[in-house]
Amino acid sequence: MNQAQSLKFGLLQIGIILLTLATAVMHFILIFPDTIFILNALGYVGLLAALYLPLPFLSDYRPVVRWALIGYTALTIVLWIFIGARGPYAYTTKTIEVVLIVLLWLESRRTP
């Protein structure tokens, strides 16, 4: 049985999906129609799709995609530290992203 067939959704995966989509939406509506923020949102959605959609050709790459999403999220945080605006909206988004990284890391410990 390959990983695409054995992929199970629990609270951890639901949390990852909701937090990723929340971050994508927040970046999409931020300073709309700024291209950088739109591309950032699309990056989150694309990586999330690659992680969880039942596409057989991606099943062997799920661990790599998970780490790519962790790196992508971490890069977003680091870039915000250097060039981002400060305020409640930004701090909320960064908090969501930190929790997302933690959930993705926890998932990496549970799955191969």
Q: What is the arithmetic mean of pLDDT over 39-59?
A: 96
Question: Is 70 exceeded by the pLDDT of residue 1?
Answer: no
What domain range includes position 73? Answer: 3-110
- How far is 96 from 23, CA to CA, in rounded Å? 7
- How far is 27 from 39, CA to CA, in rounded Å? 9
List Cβ neighbours of 11 (8 Å cut-off, separation of 6 or more). Answer: none
- How far is 73 from 28, CA to CA, in rounded Å? 15
Q: What is the arithmetic mean of pLDDT over 76-89?
A: 94
pTM value > 0.85: yes
Question: Is 60 exceeded by the pLDDT of residue 97?
Answer: yes
Question: Is 70 exceeded by the pLDDT of residue 96?
Answer: yes
Q: How many domains does one find in the chain?
A: 1
- How far is 79 from 74, CA to CA, in rounded Å? 9
Q: What is the arithmetic mean of pLDDT over 23-38?
A: 91
- How far is 86 from 13, CA to CA, in rounded Å? 30
Lowest-confidence region among 6-15, 66-75, 91-100 = 6-15
